[in-house]
């Protein structure tokens, strides 16, 4: 047996994954072709006829000698390192090779008409639109899986993990879909077909389609790393752009949360804070700077966030939350991020979120320790507690001094605020496992995270099943009675 280098001509390289040379072990020319065929399915019929003879438009050379002059496919291979070159007839232009390649694909990839594809899609088949974003912006079949041809092999397994599911591949006119279907078959998908005529024929036959709201060039550039993630993609980014999140507090926790939510493209950020910027804030409240001392925090926050991402709408509420205004302010928001630093506000925000059925992402810090959880008693995935389930009554003052009294490591709110931002984005996109029923505790001195399980109290006066909302209370007085 000799080690042989087989040179692959350009028209056949699609069968070898683009390789222009393949090394095999063989004793004869015919053995070398069989070894090549064993490794690269579909190649041998392009070189040999059904009876095993060389096709008349193909020559094979050992070194500089045509094998037809050496005895044909039975010709022995002389030594290790021999070079076997497959040389088919070419016309000098690309057209002939392209047409032959398309004909080969049509012979191996089933084609169906758009109406049949529409019926199969209704029965559970996945319709994959492999056109580019600018084409899809002009219209795409409803409920199609949209993955551009250039990323298809990289992303399809995330979108469609079941290799037994029927896949219907569509492009603009029915040619690119053939190449895409071949790539899907190589990935192991067993039931793959190409939609003949592509979207042009689909539209001409009056089948339903939609015009997805796309991202402009600036948005595509800004959110490119999100678009590259199958879990987010263009649909997820549009979801973020349509989202509304309220931040309670523009301080140590609200600052990092707001910055990263704005950077992520959350379309509307509401910020409620009645305070003004003080120099002592600047050690941790990174929305603000020295030039803005004395300004309302909500105005300072707006300037910073719009400078970071002008496309985000910033709604500000320069007022103290109270029982009288809390529902007016929270109404219409999908998630509330609680970055408050006092118990009256925390209880008020919790009660309003329970009443309005809004998930509340909660964070708190103390010196070197932080906590993050999600209070959402009506979570579809599992019943979680509210803040009152965890703490039916506020602690006395000596157990929970303010940051002004106890101090806080300046970077600690950054860690906790970022975790709040992560949980918020997960909730907006429906990703992963949110911290519902779980409390994440961070000890900065030990560089350690611990997780604690939280349970809803079945007799909670606020969120127990079937319990009517008891109404808001005087939260300052409620917290002042703690002993």
**Tokens 């860690």 label which residue?**
415
Nearest 5°: CA angle at 152, between 146 and 158?
Answer: 80
353, 403, 460, 479: the active-site residue:
403
Question: How far is residue 82 CA from its own chain's centroid?
Answer: 49
**What is the rounded CA–CA span in Å between residue 127 and residue 112?**
12
Q: Which residues contact 103 (CB under 8 A, 6 or more apart)?
A: none
Neighbours of 122 (CB within 10 A): 9
With residue 4 as reference, give the H or E element that holds it. Answer: strand 2-7
Terminal-residue alpha carbon distance, the chain: 91
User: Does residue 403 carry a catalytic annotation?
Assistant: yes
**Tokens 């087989």 label which residue?**
6
User: Could you tell me the CA-to-CA distances from 483 to 364, 399, 404, 449, 461 in Å, in that order?
Assistant: 21, 10, 21, 30, 20
Helix 297-308 and helix 254-264: axis angle, to 10°?
30
Find, among 5, 115, 12, the residue nearest to 57 by Cα.
Answer: 12
Residue positions annotated with a catalytic role: 403
């Amino acid at each position: 047996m000799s080690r042989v280098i087989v040179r692959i001509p350009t028209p056949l390289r699609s069968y070898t994954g683009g390789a222009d040379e393949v090394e095999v072990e063989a004793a004869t020319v015919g053995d070398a072709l069989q070894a090549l065929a064993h490794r690269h399915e579909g190649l041998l019929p392009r070189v040999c006829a059904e009876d095993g003879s060389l096709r008349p438009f193909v020559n094979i050379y050992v070194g500089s000698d045509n094998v037809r002059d050496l005895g044909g496919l039975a010709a022995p291979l002389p030594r290790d390192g021999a070079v076997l070159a497959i040389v088919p007839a070419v016309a000098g232009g690309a057209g002939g090779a392209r047409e032959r390649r398309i004909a080969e694909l049509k012979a191996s990839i089933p084609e169906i008409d758009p109406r049949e594809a529409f019926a199969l899609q209704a029965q559970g088949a996945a319709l994959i639109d492999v056109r580019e974003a600018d084409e899809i912006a002009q219209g795409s079949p409803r409920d199609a899986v949209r993955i551009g041809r250039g990323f298809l092999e990289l992303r399809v397994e995330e979108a469609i993990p079941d290799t037994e599911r029927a896949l219907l591949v569509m492009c603009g006119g029915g040619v690119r879909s053939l190449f895409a279907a071949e790539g899907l078959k190589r990935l192991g998908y067993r039931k793959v077909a190409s939609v003949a005529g592509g979207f042009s024929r689909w539209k001409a036959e009056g089948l339903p389609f939609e015009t997805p709201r796309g991202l402009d060039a600036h948005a595509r550039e800004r959110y490119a790393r999100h678009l590259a993630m199958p879990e987010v993609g263009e649909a997820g980014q549009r979801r973020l752009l349509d989202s509304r999140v309220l931040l309670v507090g523009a301080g140590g926790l609200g600052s990092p949360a707001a910055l990263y939510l704005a950077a992520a493209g959350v379309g509307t950020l509401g910020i409620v804070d009645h305070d003004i910027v003080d120099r002592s804030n600047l050690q941790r409240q990174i929305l603000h700077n020295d030039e803005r001392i004395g300004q309302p925090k909500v105005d300072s926050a707006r300037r910073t966030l719009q400078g970071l991402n002008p496309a985000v709408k910033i709604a500000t509420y320069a007022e103290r939350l109270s029982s009288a205004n809390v529902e007016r302010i929270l109404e219409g928001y999908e998630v509330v991020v609680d970055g408050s630093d006092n118990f009256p506000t925390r209880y008020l925000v919790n009660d309003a979120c329970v009443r309005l059925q809004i998930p509340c992402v909660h964070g708190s810090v103390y010196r070197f320790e932080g906590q993050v959880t999600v209070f959402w008693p009506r979570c579809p995935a599992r019943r979680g507690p509210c803040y009152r389930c965890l703490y039916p009554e506020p602690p006395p003052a000596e157990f929970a001094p303010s940051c002004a009294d106890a101090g806080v490591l300046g970077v600690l709110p950054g860690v906790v605020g970022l975790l709040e931002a992560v949980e918020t984005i997960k909730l907006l996109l429906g990703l992963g496992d949110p911290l519902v029923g779980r409390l994440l505790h961070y000890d900065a001195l030990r560089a350690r995270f611990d997780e604690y399980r939280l349970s809803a109290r079945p007799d909670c006066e606020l969120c127990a099943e079937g319990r009517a909302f008891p109404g808001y209370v005087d939260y300052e007085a409620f917290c002042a009675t703690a002993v």
